[in-house]
Amino acid sequence: MTTATGQNPAALADGLNAIDAHRLRRDFPILNQEINGQPLVYLDSAATTQKPQVVIDAIVDYYTRNNANVHRGVHTLSQRATDDYERAREAVRRFINAPESCEVIYVRGTTEGLNLVASSYGRKYFKPGDEVIVTGMEHHSNIVPWQILGKEIGVKLRVVPFNDDGELLLDQFESMLGDRTRMVSVVHQSNALGTVNPVKTMASLAHARGVPVMLDAAQSIPHMPIDVQDLGADFVAFSGHKMYGPTGIGVLWGRAELLDAMPPYQSGGEMIRSVTFEETIYNDLPAKFEAGTPDIAGAIGLGAAVEYLEAIGMARIARYEHALMRYGAERLGSIAGVRLVGTAANKGGVLSFIMDAAHAHDIGTILDAAGIAVRTGHHCAQPVMARYEISATARASLGLYNTTDDIDALVKAIDRVIEVFG
231 binds ligand PMP (CB under 6 A): no
Q: Phi and psi for 179 in degrees, rounded to 5?
A: -60, -25
How far, in Å, CA of 220 to CA of 241, rounded?
13
In this complex, which beta carbon is closest to ligand PMP, that of residue 242 or of residue 331?
242
Which among 252, 242, 240 is positioned nearest to 298, based on CA atoms? 240
- Write down the catalytic residue from 169, 312, 380, 411: 380
How far, in Å, CA of 199 to CA of 206, rounded?
10
Task: Please report how many Cα atoms fall inside a 13 Å half-sphere around the Cα of residue 370, on the Cβ side.
Answer: 21
Smallest separation, CB 25 to ligand PMP (Å): 22
195 binds ligand PMP (CB under 6 A): no
Site string for ligand PMP, 52-91 (x = CB under 6 A): ----------------------------------------
Scanning 20-28, 214-222, 261-269, 275-283 for contacts with ligand PMP by CB under 6 A, the matching segment is 214-222
380 binds ligand PMP (CB under 6 A): yes
239 binds ligand PMP (CB under 6 A): yes
Which among 360, 379, 105, 86 is positioned nearest to 249, based on CA atoms? 105
> Does the active-site annotation cover 380?
yes
Distances in whole angstroms, Cα of residue 378 to Cα of each of 209, 295, 392: 34, 30, 5
In this complex, which beta carbon is closest to ligand PMP, that of residue 31 or of residue 380?
380
Residue by residue, DSSP assigns 259-298 as HHHSPPSS-SSSSEEEE-SS-EEEPPTTGGG--SS--HHH
Scanning 88-96, 215-223, 298-306, 412-420 for contacts with ligand PMP by CB under 6 A, the matching segment is 215-223
295 binds ligand PMP (CB under 6 A): no
Site for ligand PMP in 129-158 (CB under 6 A): 139, 141
Out of 111, 120, 135, 195, point to the residue binding ligand PMP (CB under 6 A): 111
Sign of CA dihedral 300, 305, 310, 312: positive
Residue 106 host element (H or E): strand 104-107
Catalytically annotated residues: 380
Contacting positions for ligand PMP (CB under 6 A): 109-111, 139, 141, 187, 191, 216, 218-219, 239, 380
